[in-house]
Copies of this chain bind each other. A is one copy, B any other.
Amino acid sequence: MSPKITTELLKHLRQVMKNPRYVQEPVQAYIVPSGDAHQSEYIAPCDCRRAFISGFDGSAGTAIVTEQHAAMWTDGRYFLQAAHQMDSNWTLMKMGLKDTPTQEDWLVSVLPEGSKVGVDPFIIPADQWKRMSKVLRSAGHDLVPVKENLIDTIWTDCPQRPCKPLITLDLSYTGVSWRDKIVALRSKMAERKVMWFVVTALDEVAWLFNLRGSDVEYNPVFFAYAVIGMNTIRLFIDGDRMMDPAVREHLQLDSTLEPEFKIQVMPYGSILSELQAVGAGLSPKEKVWLSDKASYALTEAIPKAYRYLTPYTPICIAKAVKNAAETEGMRRAHIKDAVALCELFNWLEKEVPKGTVTEIVAADKAEEFRSQQKDFVELSFATISSTGPNGAIIHYKPVPETNRTLSVNEIYLLDSGAQYKDGTTDVTRTMHFGTPSAYEKECFTYVLKGHIAVSAAIFPNGTKGHLLDSFARSALWDCGLDYLHGTGHGVGSFLNVHEGPCGISYKTFADEPLEAGMIVTDEPGYYEDGSFGIRIENVVLVIPAETKYNFKNRGSLTFEPLTLVPIQTKMIDVNLLTEKERNWVNEYHQKCREVVGAELERQGRHEALRWLLRETEPLAPVQ
């Protein structure tokens, strides 16, 4: 990796920072956040403005350019990468280290008195604007919205915003029609006495209308906003996508409908002016509901007294609880995914000893097997295919410069998943194709114990996921080991592989309680820098549990694994397991045999079936 040369670009940016064509008054600093206008985790190439200006293309980072300085804030995952990708114009600000200033404090320390700090109001979330603006103001500076994105003005070969065709999902996939979703949403709005709801997150728009897209890699979403009133539905979307007869039919655009279900289609770019018109026309007590993470631009369109802001929108919460059709779809998707992985692991077992399989080859092979399955759409994230020391890099993605060959002497970690039309998968397995060391087996077994502790946990209704996080760590902690990431995240149903509002993490304090029907991952790990990485990840469904005393009828919950891929028994030190844990492994493998075995049989994949049967033999008794 050689750094991007940014001298000319920065010069150019500093010019437009003073150019009255773009800014009312010159700005002494310009902030370039990572996100897009929808606060998406994965963004389209046209939104990779921070990578364009700096060269640093990690998933998290904020650039700030002043007349004298250019600085980049990013977290520990990316210190090395950012240092490699940026030239000497840039100062790396290592977040999480004690001496690293916050963006605000740094700005205050470098700016001349009474400075203006510019930012694109569509890219910065309202809550962040508020925090930053307060600090700057108290130091005598001003945070100002710059309507035209200054990076776009200098990005001459900026790719176009994607505008790909839509997929319509019928009731067999979604379980609930978009009309019924609108009805449910309006009833939540009535409960909170709000008159309007603004849908800003891309997966929320997609879920609400039972549509999918492919504007962003890995996430089956499309660029759009929606504004739902008690009697109106406005969908802001570009291109000729609304000309597609299937979409018109799905949205009933040409049908005679009750007016409150008539969808008005408007240009994507008209959201701000339309919302401003809504804001201007409000009578007292008419509130507008927005996520508190919506952009500053859209939030400001509604006068403060009329805003109703919540961390999680009613759509986010409804979307998290999967209905029967979605759950069944997720089950199907996971069976197909398991078929692909049985094929892959069987293939790897034969090929790895030949020394010809690299991390990239293995990742491509995994995609090839998945793409053979029905309703496969694309991967759900960039495959983490890592062997030996690369496995210890938690967010590793193989590239030619780092690509390592799998061998019988190293642990191999594969974290991968796909989008199928009936569901989204995300699974991690850690394998050894030779003979693991006692220490590797010991660490693997602690991780497995943590995985089981979460998967088999029983907890009362209303429990938040973060209360389960320590269960995943307890066996590791007892020996002085730990892992520096959360234990699980919500998973969408043919939607984003990471979704709120639930999760299992020591970091997540604002998570919503787990409910039956929610789907999360269970993925503890252990990483030995420079040597190996271990992670065992299943997607699990929250289901009611049966207990002796049932929490005085409050009800209890537990998890059912949707992922049905064998956990390599060769890596397990059976003597470290309790009887209960050993039974869990055997029962899990029995289920893999029955369910995935039947599908392998049906698909005529006999060799993979033999591999499955061998890998799911019961564990030897605990000594």
Which residues of A pack against B, CB within 8 Å?
A: 138, 305, 457-460, 464, 467-471, 473-474, 477-482, 506, 509, 547-551, 554, 556
Contact = CB atoms under 8 A, between A and B. Distances in A.
A469 B467 CA distance: 8
Nearest to A467: B470
A335 to B, nearest CB: 30
Contacts of A458: 477-478, 480
Contacts of A480: 458, 460, 547-551, 556
A464 B479 CA distance: 19
Contacts of A509: 509
Residue with the greatest number of chain B CB neighbours at <10 A, chosen from A479, A480, A550: A480
A-B pairs with the 3 shortest C-beta distances? A480-B547, A480-B549, A480-B550
B506 A477 contact: no
Contact of A138 (B305, B549, B554): B305
Contacts of A481: 549, 551
B549 A479 contact: yes
A482 B551 contact: yes
A471 B474 contact: yes
Nearest to A481: B549
B477 A460 contact: yes
B138 A479 contact: no
Contacts of A473: 459
Contacts of A554: 482
A133 to B, nearest CB: 15
B482 A460 contact: yes
Nearest to A546: B480
A198 B351 CA distance: 70
A407 to B, nearest CB: 26
Contacts of A548: 479-480
19 contacts: A457-B474, A458-B478, A459-B470, A460-B477, A467-B469, A468-B470, A470-B470, A471-B474, A477-B547, A477-B556, A479-B547, A479-B549, A480-B547, A480-B548, A480-B549, A480-B556, A481-B549, A482-B551, A509-B509
Nearest to A453: B474
Nearest to A479: B548
B459 A547 contact: no
Given A467-B470, A480-B547, A482-B551, 16 more contacts: A138-B305, A457-B477, A458-B477, A458-B478, A459-B470, A459-B473, A459-B477, A460-B480, A467-B469, A467-B506, A468-B470, A479-B547, A480-B548, A480-B551, A481-B549, A481-B551
Nearest to A468: B470
A580 to B, nearest CB: 10
A505 to B, nearest CB: 10
A402 B468 CA distance: 39
A471 B509 CA distance: 18
A449 B479 CA distance: 20
Contacts of A478: 458, 547
A471 B477 CA distance: 13
Nearest to A551: B480
Contacts of A460: 477, 480, 482
Nearest to A549: B480
A480 B469 CA distance: 19
Contacts of A551: 480-482
A507 to B, nearest CB: 11
Contacts of A470: 459, 467-468, 470-471
Contacts of A506: 464, 467
Nearest to A482: B460
Contacts of A474: 457, 471
A458 B481 CA distance: 10
A459 to B, nearest CB: 5
A514 to B, nearest CB: 13
A203 to B, nearest CB: 27
Contacts of A464: 506
A473 B460 CA distance: 10
A254 B217 CA distance: 76
Nearest to A459: B477
A473 B480 CA distance: 23
Residue with the greatest number of chain B CB neighbours at <10 A, chosen from A464, A469, A470, A548: A470
A457 B460 CA distance: 22
Nearest to A555: B480
Residue with the greatest number of chain B CB neighbours at <10 A, chosen from A464, A468, A471, A556: A556
Contacts of A482: 460, 551, 554
Nearest to A138: B305
A474 B86 CA distance: 48
Contacts of A479: 547-549
A482 B553 CA distance: 12
